[in-house]
A = this chain, B = another copy of it.
Amino acid sequence: MPTAGHSLDRLVHGLDVHSPLTAGDRQLVREVPHAVREVDPHAYLVREGDAPGICSVLITGFAYRHRSTGDGNRQILSIHIPGDAVDLQHLYLEEADHSVQMLTRGTLAVIARTDFEALAEASLTLRRAIVVAMLVEASIFREWIVNVGRRDARTRLAHLLCELAVRQRAQGLADDNSYDLPMTLEHLADATGLTPVHVSRTLKLLEDDGLLLRSKRRMSFPDWRRLCRSADFTYRFLHLEPHSAEMQR
């Protein structure tokens, strides 16, 4: 039996951010059988083509979804932070259509598919929360289509930085206007449909404009409001509960 309780609190919070849980639901989640697993940077959590059998929840560390084109170009599809249940997009499908990989070292809570399904069947509000978590992810995918399809490089990158800031705040993982971004230029390029070279130049532009401050991997935002405007960033697509959205500044 793993150390029950507090590692799954991350999942409780991750669901609660979008759809409020009852006290009973929280308890049900905390009691789910699960294993805690340490994973290295670059470890694959899912590989395209896999038949999904587990549901992993990120407890610490970052992960990302990606898929490659036939000629070997990678496109990153989303970034995941602690609290995200990384397998929701696969669990009910026959085979994975994309891969999920760790960005950093991290820890997972791993729940067996059957246990997860039992959890979903145990409560209507919990089931609802799980569906909402899936749908919010889909909303973020849609926002990425817009980002990559209709915004210029500068706006695109700023938008990505905003999204990660707000999601981390909502999860209580960042309190001021800064966070550590464990993505290389190549990751950023593959997330925005650009090249690493152009990402480098564009981040420099944002810095020169006083919208971004970098030291090592730490990103901070001297003028959050202006950054949001410059990023064409609005909160709606994240579907945060009002109490989480208060973390907006």
Contact = CB atoms under 8 A, between A and B. Distances in A.
Contact of A138 (B71, B132, B141, B239): B141
B93 A145 contact: no
B232 A138 contact: no
- Chain A interface bracket (under 10, 10 to 19, 20 to 34, 35 or more): 35 or more
Given A71-B232, A239-B94, A135 B134 contact: yes
Interface stretch (A148-156, A168-176, A177-185, A214-222): A148-156
A69 interface: yes
Interface in A102-155: 121, 124, 128, 131-132, 134-139, 141-146, 148-151
Contacts of A192: 149
A98 interface: yes
Interface in A208-249: 232, 236-237, 239
A5 B165 CA distance: 49
A77 B237 contact: no
B150 A92 contact: no
Q: Across chains A and B, which 5 residue pairs bring their CB atoms closest together, nearest first?
A: A149-B193, A141-B141, A138-B138, A70-B232, A148-B149
Interface of A: 48-49, 65, 67, 69-71, 73-75, 77, 89, 92-95, 97-98, 121, 124, 128, 131-132, 134-139, 141-146, 148-151, 192-193, 232, 236-237, 239
23 contacts: A48-B236, A49-B236, A65-B142, A67-B142, A69-B151, A70-B232, A73-B150, A73-B151, A74-B150, A75-B145, A75-B146, A77-B142, A77-B145, A89-B135, A89-B138, A93-B136, A94-B239, A95-B239, A97-B142, A97-B236, A98-B142, A141-B142, A148-B193
Given A49-B236, A89-B139, A131-B134, 5 more contacts: A95-B239, A97-B239, A137-B138, A138-B141, A150-B193
